Amino acid sequence: MIEMTTGEIWATILLLGIGTYLIRFSFLGLLGHRPMPGWMLRHLRYSAVAILPALIAPLVLWPAATGGEPDPARLAAAVVALLAAWWMKTPIWGMAAGMATLWILLALV
Amino acid sequence: MQASSSKSALLRGLRAGGPFVLVAAPFGTLFGIVGTEAGLDFGAVMAFSTLVIAGASQFTAVQLMSDHAPMIVVLASALAVNLRMAMYSAALQPHIGAAPLWQRALIAYSNTDQSFAVSLSEYEEHPERSAKEKATFFLGTAIPVMSTWVVATWVGVVLGAAIPPELALDFALPVTFLSLIGPALKTRAHVGAAIVSVVLALALAWIPFNLGLILAALGAMATGAELERRGYGR
């Protein structure tokens, strides 16, 4: 549960909105025709695969729903979701296969 | 003549963006549900989807807010998820840099993974089209994606309360993110970055204020860049 005050919640949303807009507008407006240095492009290419796995690794291994104990059903669902999305090259199939795996395993146990 | 070429660019964009409704609808609904379950009110959930319009970073922010991370960590992590869009903006610049400012400002507002990918491939196929036409095409692709995103979020908020616990939606977020990571693992450099990201996140989980997450992301980004420099980026 979020325990921030209403003011903190709105400040977070507004700052995130502004920051995201500035990132998106960067080379279309603010920085004009300046080319991006190669080393920076090289780092940016990996920003999504650098942070998303870090964010969910603890949630997969130590899910709150089982009190932080590793759960075979959730681990299996995670593996299936990753493989299905990678194989089909689109997120939708990963989401469908992952949740279906979880529901089937939870129903069996 | 000019009006008709603009109109056809808009229609082609709408058609190209149409299929992404199938991606935006479930993601948006899930965000409405997850945000509501985390304790956000209707206005806050809708503000996320209309002001930020970037699914993965919205989920990141809500997850970290639920973990009681400090605001600075919430912002740093959620913005890090969006850093790739600076790269999108740099890639679009040669094509639409000459379009009117209002169009570029709107494109920046509506730049999602989907619109970017489909527009860039259109520009590479038809480099001869004008900057204005290219920009109009982009905005066409964004209309179905964005409107679905906002409406689906609203549906999620309404549905939220009615979801039975047997659906185990506590795990919908990890499943969703894994589904985003899978297709992004395009090269060995991407895989290397993802592995370092997981190992560091688990090893540094003890660091307070979720700072381990930021360190893991920085280490993983450097790993990806270094692997690419050594030729593992293709």
- Give per-residue pLDDT as tens, B175-210: 988 998 999 999 999 999 999 999 999 999 999 888
Whether residues B45 and B104 share a domain: the answer is yes
In chain B, % of residues over pLDDT 70: 99
pLDDT per residue over B50-67, tens digit each?
A: 999 999 999 999 999 999
pLDDT, residue B75, reads 97
pLDDT, residue A44, reads 86
pLDDT, residue B208, reads 85
Q: What does the domain layout of chain A look like in residue ranges?
A: 1-35, 50-108
pLDDT, residue B161, reads 74
Whether residues B201 and B93 share a domain: the answer is no
| Contacting residues of B for A24, CB less than 8 Å apart | 82, 85-86, 88-89, 108-109, 111
* Average predicted confidence (pLDDT) for chain B: 92
What are the distances in angstroms from CA B38 to CA B65, B155, B169?
Answer: 9, 16, 12
Non-local CB neighbours of B192 within 8 Å, separated by 6+ positions: B223, B224, B227, B232
pLDDT, residue B3, reads 66
Whether residues B157 and B189 share a domain: the answer is no
pLDDT per residue over A58-98, tens digit each?
A: 999 999 888 899 999 999 999 999 999 999 988 889 989 99
Whether residues B138 and B192 share a domain: the answer is no
* Average predicted confidence (pLDDT) for chain A: 91
Give chain B's domain count: 2
pLDDT, residue B160, reads 81
pLDDT over threshold 80, residue A102 = yes
pLDDT, residue A33, reads 67
Whether residues B100 and B208 share a domain: the answer is no
* Window 16-45 of A, Cβ < 8 Å to B: 16-17, 19-21, 23-29, 32-33, 35-36, 39, 41-45
Whether residues B164 and B199 share a domain: the answer is no
pLDDT over threshold 70, residue A32 = no
Whether residues B163 and B191 share a domain: the answer is no
What is the distance between the alpha carbons of residues B153 and B191, in angstroms, rounded to a whole number?
Answer: 31
Structure tokens at B117: 């990918």
Domain of B131 in residue numbering reads as 2-169
| Contacting residues of B for A85, CB less than 8 Å apart | 178-183
What is the distance between the alpha carbons of residues B94 and B76, in angstroms, rounded to a whole number?
Answer: 29
Using 50 as the pLDDT threshold, list the residues of chain B that sit under it: 1
What is the distance between the alpha carbons of residues B231 and A40, in angstroms, rounded to a whole number?
Answer: 17
Whether residues B106 and B203 share a domain: the answer is no
- Beta strand segments in B161-214, E: none
What is the distance between the alpha carbons of residues B122 and B135, in angstroms, rounded to a whole number?
Answer: 11
Domain for residue B180, yes or no?
no
Among candidates B88, B167, B183 on the partner chain, residue whose Cβ is nearest the Cβ of A86: B183
Whether residues B211 and B135 share a domain: the answer is no
This prediction has a pTM of 0.85
Domain for residue B234, yes or no?
no
Whether residues B26 and B65 share a domain: the answer is yes
Whether residues B21 and B82 share a domain: the answer is yes
Structure tokens at A99: 């949740």
What is the distance between the alpha carbons of residues B11 and B40, in angstroms, rounded to a whole number?
Answer: 37
Domain for residue B177, yes or no?
no
